[in-house]
Each structure stands twice: as C-alpha cells, then as structure tokens.
C-alpha cells in the first residue's frame, strides 16, 4: 500500500510502498477514503512543538517514532477484520477514532483515552491516515459514519471533536453572554458550527483573515472581528456588546492568549486549544479576585465523536467548508497550511 511517511524530522513526507497489514484479533483494517489535514501535522512533520523561551518539545519526547505515517482525521470503509471482531461489515463506511490510549491505565479503563499518559494515537504516535489503509488496534475505535459524507465525517475525528471538547468546557451561558472564538481555521469554523448545540451565548469570531471571517459568518457567527488592529482588546470589548464569559483560543500564541486574558470578565473561562507555541505570563494575584479559569483542552472522547456524527446525521450541523485534493499533494498542502492559506478543512484522498 502507498503511505506518506515522515522518515526524517523536518523533511517532506516520503511516499513509501508498505506491506498491507493483515488484522489480527480485535484489529480492523480500514481503507482510507478521506484524510483531513490538521495544523498539528505541520508541527509533527517539523518534529517539535514550540514551548516558548527557546524551549521545544520534540515529537520524540511526545512519543512519536520514525518512520511514521502522518494523518489523524480518517474516514473510509472496513477492508478486513481480525478473528475476534464482531458487529462490523466489510465495506461499511466508518470514521476512525485516532486518540487511542495504552488500554491498561486507570484513564483508559475509564474510557478517557485522551488523558492517558502513554497514548498510542494514530497519525502522531503510530501509523495514521495519509495512506491507502490504516490498521486500527481495537474495533471499539471504529465509529459508524451513518449517512454522513465521508469527506466531512473525517474532519470530525479531530477538528470537529476538538472543537466540541472545548465547547463542552465552557460555563453555562445565556444569550446576553458572549463566547469569543479566536482563530477561524478548521477548528474555529467547526466550533461555530457546533456551538448552537452546546451554548446559548452569542458567538464572536476573531481572526486576522477576512475570508476566514466571512466563512465564520456564513456558518452563523453573530459577530466577526478582524483582530489585526492596534488596540484589539479594547475594540473587541467595545464591539462585543456584552460580557465575554467564554473564550476558546484555537491559535495558542502569546498574542492570542494575552488577548483572551485582556477581554475576559470576572468568572470567564479561557480554554486554550491551539499549539502554535510560546508562553504566557499570568499575574497570579489576578486569578482569584477575577475568578478566572484558564485551561487546556485536548481533542475529545470516543463517545463525543459518536455524538457529533449523530448530530451531523440528524442534520443539526451546518457543514464547514471542506475541499478535497489528491493525497500525492500532501507536502504542498502542509506547506500551505503552515502559511494558513486555506479556508475550512482540506481532505486528501488516496489515488
Ligand atoms: Zn488535528
Ligand atoms: Zn492509558
């Protein structure tokens, strides 16, 4: 099978001809129809995450080993199953839950794979979806896509799920509250699409790119705000017309986190999702009197992926813009993604 692998950190993915795996036991082989390209693929290909102050977290410290097939937003059809697999039909359209834990720690036994300290996630620690096939180690991570288009369904495995997971960490809000979404890339747009199912707050989306803001508006954002001005925090607070009680930062730079801190009101919850990198200085004496919550959010649970697909199947989600490209353009796509050239999600398809 053709797979696009990182062979050397920081270098383009290489097309490699690998043996098609034969699933054993509870393993499932999925034939990839669509694989979404995520901004974290930029970081993983580079081989590190920027921790600020000149510090780096290398992909190897993070648990990745080379060579490795990149790609963690995967949808396709069941191609083959191991002898212990029950309830799956060959050819059935499915989405793969990639955020797989060790399977034996207390988090994993409690179905919270995302909090596992020894994750074996597909496409970041084990071979993923920029390939004709992916081997999934347990059948429970295979989710029926129902009648959802597989190009869109693939994006639920990371951009949809990550946005949903972050939205669920917001406080209870009313229609007089404001939820600020920083960054209108694939994740930010997914959050705009899902937010009405989770919160009553009015949605404000901030980004530097007017085309992305227009896409957010088309998906139902109540307000869009170009954050390239000089006094962004004051302008944004004024424009908001209500307290910004929830903030999700899908960029995750010092600038965006500082903006979040500057527009927060007493009791606000700030969730940082983006990993563009850098660090933030927090005046500790402000956290308590301002009753602030600052926290991270990483992807979402298997059950949340099932919920999202059900929402989409029931017609409750406005689909984010998804463009499809051939998988052999993967390196150019990751380059373009690094320069934030796309509106919505790009999904690649094997030839
Ligand atoms: Zn991702
Ligand atoms: Zn575990």
Check residue 18 and give its pLDDT: 98
Residue 301 CA to residue 113 CA, distance in Å, equals 7
Q: Is the pLDDT of residue 340 over 90?
A: no
Confidence band for 118, pLDDT divided at 50, 70 and 90 = very high
CA 287 to each of CA 24, 89, 246: distance values in angstroms, whole numbers, following the listed order: 51, 52, 15
Looking at domain 2-159+300-349, which CATH architecture does it have?
Alpha-Beta Complex (3.90)
- Could you tell me which residues are beta bridge partners of residue 37? 346
Other C-beta atoms within 10 Å of 148: how many?
Answer: 23
Q: What fold does the segment set 170-296 form as a domain? A: Rossmann fold (3.40.50)
- pLDDT of amino acid 100: 96
Q: Which of 194, 198, 344, 340 is nearest to 269 (CA)?
A: 198
Dist. CA 92 → ligand 1 center (Å): 24
CA distance 223 to 179: 10
Equal fold, 2-159+300-349 vs 170-296: no
Q: For residue range 149-170, what is the model confidence (pLDDT) as tens digits?
A: 999 999 999 999 999 999 999 9
Q: Is the bond leading into 67 cis (omega within 30 degrees of zero)? A: yes
Kindly give the distance from the C-alpha atom of residue 14 to the centroid of ligand 1, in angstroms, as a whole number. 20
User: Which residues have C-beta within 8 Å of that of residue 48, sequence separation ≥ 6?
Assistant: 9, 56, 57, 58, 59
Q: What is the mean pLDDT of residues 29-49?
A: 95
Residue 53 has pLDDT above 90, yes or no: no
Q: Identify whether the C-beta of residue 278 lies closer than 8 Å to the C-beta of residue 50.
A: yes
Which range among 51-65, 84-98, 328-342 shows the weakest confidence by mean pLDDT? 51-65
284 CA → ligand 2 middle, Å: 32
The mean pLDDT of 179-202, rounded to a whole number, is: 96
pLDDT at position 107:
95
Residue 63 has pLDDT above 90, yes or no: no
Q: Is the pLDDT of residue 54 over 90?
A: no
186, 345 Cβ separation under 8 angstroms:
yes
Close Cβ partners of 231 (under 8 Å, ≥ 6 residues apart): none
**pLDDT tens sequence across 242-264:** 999 999 999 999 999 999 999 99
Give 29's pLDDT tier (boundaries 50, 70, 90). Answer: very high
Ligand 2 centroid–CA 192 distance in Å is 31
pLDDT of 262-312, one tens digit each? Answer: 999 999 999 999 988 888 999 999 899 999 999 999 999 999 999 999 999
pLDDT for residue 342 is more than 90: no
Are the C-beta atoms of residues 136 and 27 closer than 8 Å to each other? yes
Ligand 2: centre distance to CA 121 (Å): 11
Instruction: Determine the distance separating the centroid of ligand 1 and the alpha carbon of 238, expressed in angstroms.
Output: 33
So where are the chain's domains?
2-159+300-349, 170-296
Beta-sheet strands, E only, within the chain: 2-6, 14-17, 28-37, 48-52, 55-58, 68-69, 73-81, 93-96, 133-136, 142-144, 178-182, 202-207, 223-226, 244-249, 269-272, 293-296, 322-326, 345-349
Distance (Å, whole) CA 128 – CA 71: 5
What does the alpha-carbon distance between residue 72 and residue 64 come to, in Å, rounded to a whole number?
13
**What is the model's pLDDT at position 14?**
98
Distance (Å) from CA 329 to ligand 2 centroid: 35
- Tell me what pLDDT residue 62 has: 83
The pLDDT value given to residue 341: 82
Q: Residue 236: what pLDDT?
A: 97
Instruction: Of 136, 132, 33, 122, give the one whose Cα is nearest residue 70.
Output: 122
């Amino acid at each position: 099978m053709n797979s696009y692998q990182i062979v050397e950190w920081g270098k383009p993915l290489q097309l490699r001809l690998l043996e098609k795996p034969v699933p054993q036991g509870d393993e499932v082989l999925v034939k990839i129809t669509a694989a979404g390209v995520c901004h974290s693929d930029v970081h993983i290909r580079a081989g590190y995450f920027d921790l600020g102050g000149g510090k780096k977290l290398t992909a190897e410290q993070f648990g990745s080993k080379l060579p490795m097939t990149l790609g963690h937003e995967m949808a396709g059809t069941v191609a083959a199953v191991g002898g212990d697999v029950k309830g799956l039909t060959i050819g059935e359209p499915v989405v793969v839950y990639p955020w797989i834990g060790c399977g034996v720690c207390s988090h994993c036994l409690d179905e919270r794979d995302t909090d596992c300290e020894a994750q074996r996630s597909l496409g970041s620690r084990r071979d993923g979806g920029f390939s004709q096939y992916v081997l999934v180690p347990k059948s429970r991570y295979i989710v029926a896509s129902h009648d959802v288009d597989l190009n869109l369904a693939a994006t639920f495995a990371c951009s949809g799920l990550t946005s949903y997971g972050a939205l669920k960490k917001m406080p209870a809000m009313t229609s007089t509250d404001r939820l600020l979404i920083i960054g209108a890339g694939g994740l930010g747009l997914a959050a705009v699409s899902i937010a009405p199912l989770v919160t009553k707050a009015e949605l404000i989306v901030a980004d530097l790119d007017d085309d992305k803001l227009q896409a957010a508006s088309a998906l139902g954002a109540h307000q869009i705000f170009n954050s390239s001005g000089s006094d962004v925090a004051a302008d944004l607070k004024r424009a908001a017309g209500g307290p910004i009680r929830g903030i999700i930062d899908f960029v995750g730079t010092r600038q965006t986190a500082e903006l979040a801190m500057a527009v927060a009101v007493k009791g606000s919850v700030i969730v940082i999702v983006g990993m563009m990198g850098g660090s933030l200085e927090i005046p500790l004496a402000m956290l308590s009197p301002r009753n602030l919550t600052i926290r991270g959010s990483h992807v979402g649970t298997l059950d949340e992926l099932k919920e999202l697909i059900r929402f989409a199947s029931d017609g409750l989600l406005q689909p984010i813009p998804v463009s499809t490209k051939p998988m052999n353009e993967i390196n150019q796509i990751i380059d373009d993604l690094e320069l934030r050239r796309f509106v919505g999600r790009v999904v690649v398809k094997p030839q």
